[in-house]
Amino acid sequence: MKNKSFADQKVPVAPGGEVHQEAGGDVPVLTTQQGVRISDDQNSLRIGSRGPGALEDLHFREKLFHFDHERIPERVVHARGYGAHGYFEAYESLSDVTAADPFQKKGRKTPAFVRFSTVAGNKGSVDLARDVRGFAVKLYTQEGNWDIVGNNIPVFFIQDAIKFPDLIHAAKQEPDSDFPQAQTAHDNFWDFISLMPEAMHMVMWIMSDRAIPRSFRFMEGFGVHTFRFVNAKGKSTFVKFHWKPKLGMQSVVWNEAVKINGADPDFHRRDLWNAIQSGEFPEWELGVQLFDQAFADSFDFDVLDATKLIPEELVPVRRVGRLVLDRCVDNFFAETEQAAFCTNNIIPGVDFSNDPLLQGRNFSYLDTQLKRLGGPNFTHIPINAPKCPMHHFQQDGHMAMHNPKGRANYEPNSWGSAEGGPRECPETGFRSFPAEEAGRKERVRSETFADHYSQARQFYISQTETEQRHMAEALVFELSKVQQPAIRTRVVSHLLNIDDGLAGAVCKGLGLREKPKPAPAARKTRRDLEISPALSILLNRADTFRGRKVGALVTDGVDRKLVDALRRALKKEGAMLEIVAPTVGGVEASDGSRLEADEKIGGGPSVVYDAVAILPSKEGGEEIAGMAPARDFVADAFAHAKFIAYSDGAAPLFEKAGVVSDLDDGCVKLTVAGAGAFVQTCRKLRFWEREQNAG
């Protein structure tokens, strides 16, 4: 009888462990790659329900290890990024709360490198995808590199890092079809989300306009987790990090984002590059929320839960320094692409909390860089190397650029100081904060993490009516791309625990015949949390048009005095004017002078500008009224609630674009004397009343 191959043999399964009986049929038991059955795939192993992660967690380590190594050499997440050099300057000494080097002296400047990114898309995706934005800051301090690896949203989808591979697998393109790219509008993502109530707070943020920022320069950044500051005496203070843009926050609307991606998929990259090259250096202020153990114990939510935030009205953000980006990279690959950020890169004066997501990231990021950059010597790459002295006994390995000199490559050794190499320094070396930990070693989620809806509701009710409308529209769009009705219904069942009006708007937009029952909640949604104005973009608009750009659509015969007056007013504001003309060769102005063009109509659509000016001559207006790109220029600017300046010659174009009867207070007839007033009006950034009236 012919022997069966191993592959043909039926391998016995331990009694009681064959399958789980579920409504959908027999489901195999989840195992490790070694075949060990998994009892809990929802929680990593920790010491006590709120304690630190355990290094022996074999399932977590294998799961994250494999996930980190899925792609070569592109980042698994945050693949599409853009970076720049700069510095951090302290406003004051914080030596009373931290021994961290950048904060020891007022005015101290610390070199910095910052990388912005999208999360879900691959390296070749577009800039204006609806997505979380990475905001990673590397500070080259005098005591080593400190990486603040954050996002433009202060919370996250999950509470435990063991779920990160599942989250990203669900968010990325589906593995059989390999699409959709850089989008969450598909079944896998929303199926996962609908089964993870802890994600609902983050869902509110990514469905808001925070997920489609106008520019890196106009978005906030957050450290996400709770960290510790530790002063020279060993006293610990909890801290959360915030980056506040000097130019204020600004986002786009969805229709605009879609069109920008078509017109310029590198829009954010180009914006950052051009700003720095022109000397308009982007700036953010570093803010810290400082609180002690007593506050942590009394706070309504757990400060170790990455799906929660601390409202700024409860713990004010103290602005302690500024981040300035003043130099573009010399080579994108050598610097931006090879930049390696690790949450575990901290310096004396900074320490971790027991946040289970942070604990997992500390393992994952180092492992990721090892694989992506080819080995353990990625710190030999200049962009990752510290700028302070560095001495150790680590040697060899793939692509080692330098090795310790001398005979000693171990410690302790008995050789003298000349040959023996570096020694540890108990007095000034890094020490972990000696937090006391106790508890059972188990896989468990703390009961203090159980409220999944209250802060989601707080975020939603803190938005303006315009922002709430955008959130409902975003949810309808995303869920309309979901093919399975049951998934849509499950998501709405969660929304009912957040806000009835929001759930109703989504139900109506999806055409659901009736609302489902609210999803079961581990904790009842609190209705007493106060509105937090700091959570709204529109309520925190900076009263400036600085750093923005106006596109002026012109033709032959344009009034040169109008153009010059507008340019002067914008320059005074710190803004820019770009000329858009029928040809890139420019136009002949009314005074016979030549006006050079920055863009050709169609190549410079209104979506890439913050406001527009329609300034054709009478004859020119009639001519371009027959051009589709010119009509789109006006129609899109109007539909996207932008401020519009115009001259008499614009009338035919307005009529053909279908907006002549709808002119409102956001449309201003431009005069030489009134150019400054128009620019001041543009400080509001959008004329949202137009959108509201259209709705």
- Distances in Å between the Cα of 203 and the Cα atoms of 89, 487, 526 are 34, 15, 18
Catalytic residue among 145, 151, 377, 384: 151
Distance CA 554, CA 455 (A): 49
Q: What SS3 state is found at 187?
A: helix
Nearest to 275 by CA among 9, 46, 548: 548
Provide the 8-state DSSP code for 337. Answer: I
Give the Cα separation of 416 and 284 in Å (integer): 48
The pairing of strands 549-554 and 576-581 is: parallel
Catalytic residue among 78, 85, 186, 640: 78
| Residue 413 annotated as catalytic | no
Q: Alpha helix (H) ranges present in 101-195?
A: 164-171, 187-194
Please state, in angstroms and rounded to a whole number, the distance separating the CA atoms of residues 363 and 382.
23
| Residues with Cβ within 8 Å of residue 667, at least 6 apart in sequence | 638, 643, 644, 645, 646
Please tell me the total number of residues recorded for the chain in this structure: 695
From residue 248, alpha-carbon distances to 88, 541, 568 in Å are 19, 6, 23
278 CB-contact burial (10 Å; exposed 0-12 / middle 13-18 / buried 19+): exposed
Q: How would you list the strands of the sheet with 644-646, edge to edge?
A: 599-600, 576-581, 549-554, 611-615, 644-646, 667-669
Residue 631's alpha-carbon distances to 267, 559, 606, 618, 650, in angstroms, are 22, 21, 10, 16, 11
Single out the residue of 95, 108, 341, 364 nearest to residue 230, CA to CA: 95
Instruction: Give CA–CA dist 34/417, Å, rounded.
Output: 48
Instruction: Give, in order, the Cα–Cα distances in Å from 72 to each of 68, 336, 349, 372, 385.
Output: 10, 17, 35, 6, 22
Does residue 324 contact residue 139 with C-beta atoms inside 8 Å?
Answer: no
Residues 6+ apart with CB under 8 A from 282: 84, 216, 217, 245, 246, 247, 272, 275, 276, 324, 325, 547
Maximum distance among all Cα pairs of the chain, rounded to whole angstroms: 101
Asked if residues 686 and 642 have their Cβ atoms less than 8 Å apart, the reply is yes
* DSSP 8-state assignment for residue 603: T
Q: Residues 395, 397, 400, 406: what is their CA dihedral angle, to the nearest 10 degrees? A: 20
Task: Report which DSSP code applies to 335.
Answer: I
DSSP H or E segment with residue 496: none
Count of CB atoms situated within 10 Å of the CB of 485: 11
Q: Do 654 and 544 form a contact (C-beta atoms < 8 A)? A: no
Active site residue 391: no
Query: Distance between CA atoms of 628 and 642, rounded to whole angstroms?
Result: 19
Q: If residue 62 lies in a helix (H) or strand (E), which one and from where to where?
A: helix 58-68
Determine the 3-state secondary structure of 553 from DSSP: strand
The pair of structure tokens assigned to 304 is: 């170790």
Which residues does the annotation mark as catalytic? 78, 151
